[in-house]
Amino acid sequence: MSADASIDLLVIGAGAVGLAITRQAAMQGLSVILVEDNPSFGMETSSRNSEVIHAGIYYPQDSLKARLCVEGAHAMYAYCAERGVTANRIGKLIVATNDDQVEGLSAIMAKGQANGVPDLAMIGQARLAEMEPHLNAVAAIHSPFTGVVDSHNYMAALEADAENAGAIIAYLSRFEGAERYRAGHGAKRWHCRITSQGEAMVIDAGRIINAAGHGSHTVSKAIEGLEPSSIPPHYMAKGQYFTTTRKPPFSRLIYPMPSGGGLGIHLTLDAANGARFGPDIQWVEGEDYSVDPGDAAKFHRSISTYWPDLREDELVPAWAGLRPKIYNDGSRFQDFTIMTGADHGADGVTALYAIDSPGLTSSLALAGHVMEVSGIAA
C-alpha cells in the first residue's frame, strides 16, 4: 500500500489535549499530523465546559487526575502568561450552606492538601461575610489557586505553536482505520486510512495517539490488533448551563458541596466577568446539546442555597456539554484512562478514554504524560 505521507506520529482529535500533544511532539522535533473530523479545533468537549482552571482539590491522592491537574494548572498559568492568553486566578469558594456540611468541607480540604494544592484555607462565616457579602454560607474552603481561562484562545495558541513547529493539522479529516505492516529493517509501522475533505488518503505513521474524545472508542475499534475487549464502555454525561440577566455580586467562583458524582451546580465567572451556572448531570444515549428551559427551577433550587437573592426568572438557558465517561454510576471515581500496547496489544498505539474534567486544566501535563508512557523521549 503506497502512502501519501510518512511521519513519526499521527494524533487523532483536536481538542485541548490532542492539540497539546501535537504541540509537544512537534516541538520535540517529531513529524506530526493531527487529524480532526470537525472544521476547527475544540468543537466538542473542550469548548463546552466551565473554562475553570481547577486546582486539583477533589481527586484521590496519587490518581492521574490529582497529579496532572495540579501540574497542569501551574503549566497553564505560565503558558497563558507567556502567550498572552487570558487566565485569571480569581479564586474559588467551596461552601457549606449549613452546619451539617462543615464536616464534608474538612474531608475535601484534606484531599486538596494531600494533592499539593497551594494556599488552601478554611474560612469562617465572619470572614466570608467580608469577602462575599451576598453569599449564604456558614464556612468555606478558599482556593486562591483556582481560576478561569479563555479556552478558545488557549487552544488557538496551542494550534499556532504546533504549526510553527512543523506539525500539520488537517481539519474535516476522519480517521477510518489502521493496519500494521513491517517496514525496512523489521520496524513495525502503521498504514492509517484517512478521509480528508472527501478524498481518501493513506498516512504511514510510526505511532498513533488516539485523543478523539467521544470518538476514541470508535477509533480504537478500527485499529488492527487492538484487542476489542480492552476498550472500556462509553457513556455520555450531559451537563447543562444557565446564565443570568443580573450582574453577579461575587468576585470569586462559588461551588456548593459535591453531589451526584459531580461538583454541583456552581457559579463561574468568565473572562468578561459574566456569570454562568452548571453543570447538572443527565445520562444521554447520543449527542444532545439542547438545554431544557424547564430545568431553570432545578437550577434555581440549587443556586439559591448559596445565592438566595437570585430569582428563578432571572435564569437564562445557555448551552450544554457532553462529558465522556466509562462508568454511568456517578458515585464511582473515574480517573483519566490511558492505554498503551501493553494494555491492548497494539504496540505503537496510545489510546485516551474518559478525558473529562479536569482535562482542560491538565492538558499540558497530560501531553507530557502521554508522550512519556508512549515511549517518546523528551
- Tell me, letter by letter, the H, E, C secondary structure of the chain: CCCCEEEEEEEECCCHHHHHHHHHHHHCCCCEEEECCCCCCCCCHHHCCCCEECCCCCCCCCCHHHHHHHHHHHHHHHHHHHHCCCEECCCEEEEECCHHHHHHHHHHHHHHHHCCCCCCEEEEHHHHHHHCCCCCCCEEEEECCCEEECHHHHHHHHHHHHHHCCCEEECCEEEEEEEEEECHHHCEEEEEEEEECCEEEEEEEEEEEECCHHHHHHHHHCECCCCHHHCCCCEEEEEEEEEECCCCCCCCEEECCCECCEECCEEEECCCCCEEEECCCEEECCCCCCCCHHHHHHHHHHHCCCCCCCCHHHEEEEEEEEEEECCCCCCCCCCCEEECHHHHCCCCEEEEECCCCCHHHHHHHHHHHHHHHCCCCC
pLDDT number for residue 261? 60
pLDDT number for residue 194? 98
Cell of 285: 444515549
Q: Are 94 and 259 in contact (CB under 8 A)?
A: no
Beta bridge partners of 276: 243, 268
- On the 0-12 / 13-18 / 19+ scale of CB atoms within 10 A, 162 is buried
CA torsion, ordered 321, 228, 184, 167, to nearest 10 deg: 0
CA 136, 118, 16, 156 torsion-angle sign = positive
pLDDT number for residue 262? 66
Rounded Cα–Cα distance for residues 258 and 193 (Å)? 43
Q: Are 35 and 170 in contact (CB under 8 A)?
A: yes
CATH class of 92-144+235-325: alpha beta
pLDDT number for residue 260? 60
Omega before 279 within 30 of 0, i.e. cis: yes
318 Cβ partners below 8 Å, 6+ apart?
A: 240, 241, 242, 243, 276, 278, 291
pLDDT in tens, 24-83: 999 999 999 999 999 999 999 998 888 999 999 999 999 999 999 999 999 999 999 999
Of the candidates 285, 286, 294, which has an alpha carbon nearest to the alpha carbon of residue 240? 294
| Neighbouring C-beta atoms of residue 245, cutoff 10 Å | 10
pLDDT in tens, 77-127: 999 999 999 999 999 999 999 999 999 999 999 999 999 999 999 999 999
pLDDT number for residue 293? 97
CATH 3.50.50.60 holds for 5-47+153-233+334-373:
yes
pLDDT number for residue 274? 84
Q: Are 336 and 352 in contact (CB under 8 A)?
A: yes
**Strand pairing class (199-210; 188-196):** antiparallel
Rounded Cα–Cα distance for residues 15 and 369 (Å)? 17
> What string of pLDDT tens digits covers the 378 residues of the chain?
678 999 999 999 999 999 999 999 999 999 999 999 999 999 999 988 889 999 999 999 999 999 999 999 999 999 999 999 999 999 999 999 999 999 999 999 999 999 999 999 999 999 999 999 999 999 999 999 999 999 999 999 999 999 999 999 999 999 999 999 988 777 789 999 999 999 999 999 999 999 999 999 999 999 999 999 999 999 999 999 999 988 899 999 999 998 766 678 999 998 777 899 999 999 999 999 999 999 999 999 999 999 999 999 999 999 999 999 999 987 789 999 999 999 999 999 999 999 999 999 999 999 999 999 999 976
Q: What are the residue ranges spanned by the domains of the chain?
A: 5-47+153-233+334-373, 92-144+235-325
Decide if 5-47+153-233+334-373 and 92-144+235-325 have a common fold.
Answer: no
% of residues, the chain, pLDDT over 70: 98
Rounded Cα–Cα distance for residues 370 and 157 (Å)? 20
pTM: 0.96
pLDDT number for residue 84? 98
Residues in the chain: 378
